[in-house]
Amino acid sequence: MSCTLCTTAGIEARGFIFGPPIALAIGAKFVPLRKPRKLPGKVYRQEYDLEYGSDCIEMHVGAVEPGERALVVDDLIATGGTLCAAMNLLERAGAEVIECACVIEIPELKVCTSLIHASIFLLLFCSISFCLRGYLTF
């Protein structure tokens, strides 16, 4: 099996900033994973829990083909709920999630890595106290 990535999926909204340039650089298509009711037509829907409630992301039916190898891109990994939902969404459509790329992880929030079976590339580890002091804003 080839190691080529066919799809770069970006999680709304900051994944839309980082995902397309990565997709362009590796020659993959970009697939947006959006908040509910933002995409026209038929969609796959994946609900997930957050630290403070629940949410949902959606993807167009037909955006990925069975067997495509995918990279998931987002800005921040806190508990891992959104990332896991994105992976589940792509896998329900038949894609194989190979890797996740996030800019920042907040380790104090205990990412549920047991749910994330793809490798994770992180650019920066950031403590909550660093964020609270105003050095990093979202």
The residues annotated as belonging to the active site are 14, 51
Tell me whether the omega of the peptide bond preceding residue 95 falls within 30 degrees of 0, making it cis: no
Picking from 65, 3, 63, 13, the residue whose alpha carbon sits closest to that of residue 35 is: 13
For the chain, how many residues are written? Answer: 138
Q: Provide the 3-class DSSP secondary structure of residue 38.
A: coil
